Amino acid sequence: MTLGAIKLPPNGIPRFYRGGPAIAELRGFDPGGDRVPEEWIASTTTVFGEAELGLSRLEDGELLRDVIAKDPEGWLGPAHAERFGADPALLVKLLDAGQRLPVHVHPDGPFAREHLGTKFGKTEAWIVIAAKPGAQVHLGFRDAVSEDTVRAWIADQDHDAMLGALNPVDVIAGDAIFVPAGVAHAIGEGLLIIELQEPSDMSVLLEWDGFGIEDEDEATLGLGWDTALGCVELAARDAAPLRGPRTDGAVAELLPRAADPFFSAQRIAPAGDATRLEAGFAVIVVIDGAGQIAELDVQRGDAILVTHAAGAVTAVGELTAIVCRPPEVAP
C-alpha cells in the first residue's frame, strides 16, 4: 500500500468501567454498549492477557501490526526502527470516563521488564477534549505515605482515604496532564480525553472492590501485593509541574518537557492557512472542524495515521486536531 496518510476505522475496546457514548458521538460509530469506554487508535498493542483484542485493523481488515512489520522503516523511520524495531513505541486512546475510575498505578519500564516480561512500562498523558463542569482528576500523593498505610487502605478498600490522599486537579477542555509511571491517580467522571502512553496495558488497582474487578489477583496483574506495591511512588508529588503549557497558535506544544522521552503532543489549528507538520510517524485525531491533512479530506472525529515515508505534510482548513508522536529518535 502507499505509505502516506490513511483514515483508521473504529476500534472500540470493552473495559470494566462505564463509558463510550462520548467517543461514539465524536467518532460516529455504535460502541455496542455502555462499557466500551476506550478506543485504541493505530494500536499494535493488545489488552493485558489477550492475544488480539486491542489491535487496530486497516480498512481492508489487515492488522496494522502486521503491515508495519513488513516495512518498519517506511512506516516508522530508519532511526526509530533501529531502536524499537516494528513497534511504534506509542499507544493512543480515546477514553470516555462515564464514572470515576479507581485509584491505580502503572509500572515503569524497569519494573515491567523484571516482573512482567514486557519491553515498556506505562507512562501516560491526558489531553482533555471535553469536560463536564467541575470535572477533576486526582494525581500523586499530597504527602508522603508509608507502604503500611497503603496496605491498610487496600485491605479495607478505604475509597475515601485513597482518593483523599491524592492531589485534586480541576480540568477543562484544552488542559493536558503528564502522568509518570508509578504515580497513583484516578480520572474523574465526565471527561473525554485523548491518552498518549507507552504501548502496554498494565494497571495495579489499589481500589478494586465495587469496580467490576474479579479479585485481588486481577487487581495486581497476578503479582500479589507484596510485589505489586513495589511499583507505587510513595513520596509526595506536586501536581503543578505535570500540567502542560496552555498556548495558542497554529501549532501548540501541549505537554511538559518531562514527557519528551516517551511521546509528544501538539494541537494544530491552521485557521485556513497551511500548517506544516514535520516528517515522522504520527497519529492525529481531528476534534473540531474540517479541512485537509496530507491532502486527505478530514472532519471532526476522523482518526488519521501519517507514516514516516509520507515526509512533511500540511494541514489546512478550519480544523483543530491533536497530533500524537512517539519519542523522537536521533538519526
Q: SS3 string of 199-245?
A: CCCCCEECCCCCCCCCCHHHHCCCCCHHHHHHHCCCCCCCCHHHECC
Q: Quick one: pLDDT at residue 331?
A: 72
Q: State which fold the 10-242 domain adopts.
A: Jelly Rolls (2.60.120)
With bands split at pLDDT 50, 70 and 90, how would you rate the model's confidence at 34? Answer: confident
* Domain 10-242 shares a fold with domain 251-325: yes
CATH 2.60.120.10 fits 251-325, yes or no: yes
Element (H, E) at 266: strand 264-268
* Cα–Cα distance measured from residue 272 to residue 48, given in angstroms and rounded to the nearest whole number: 42
For 220, the grid coordinates are 495486581
User: Which whole number is the average pLDDT over 173-199?
Assistant: 98
Above 70 in pLDDT, residue 286? yes
For 284, the grid coordinates are 492525529
User: Which whole number is the average pLDDT over 38-42?
Assistant: 98
* Cα–Cα distance measured from residue 167 to residue 143, given in angstroms and rounded to the nearest whole number: 9
Q: Which of 97-101, 199-203, 244-248 has the lowest mean pLDDT?
A: 244-248
Sheet of strand 104-105: strand arrangement: 166-170, 136-141, 185-187, 104-105, 204-205
Above 70 in pLDDT, residue 2? no
- Please state the pTM of the whole predicted model: 0.96
User: Which whole number is the average pLDDT over 44-52?
Assistant: 95
User: Which whole number is the average pLDDT over 209-219?
Assistant: 93
- pLDDT, averaged across the chain: 96
Above 90 in pLDDT, residue 29? no
Q: How do residues 88-143 score in pLDDT, each as one tens digit?
A: 999 999 999 999 999 999 999 999 999 999 999 999 999 999 999 999 999 999 99
With bands split at pLDDT 50, 70 and 90, how would you rate the model's confidence at 1? Answer: low
For residues 263 and 125, is the Cβ–Cβ distance under 8 A?
Answer: yes
CA 156 to chain centroid, in Å, comes to 30
Q: Quick one: pLDDT at residue 271?
A: 87
End-to-end Cα spacing for the chain: 25
Which residues neighbour 243 within 8 Å (Cβ) at sequence distance 6 or greater? Answer: 169, 175, 176, 177, 178, 256
Domain limits, the chain = 10-242, 251-325
* Cα–Cα distance measured from residue 246 to residue 173, given in angstroms and rounded to the nearest whole number: 11
User: Which whole number is the average pLDDT over 260-272?
Assistant: 95
Q: Quick one: pLDDT at residue 5?
A: 93
User: Which whole number is the average pLDDT over 139-163?
Assistant: 98
Above 60 in pLDDT, residue 268? yes
* Cα–Cα distance measured from residue 257 to residue 247, given in angstroms and rounded to the nearest whole number: 14
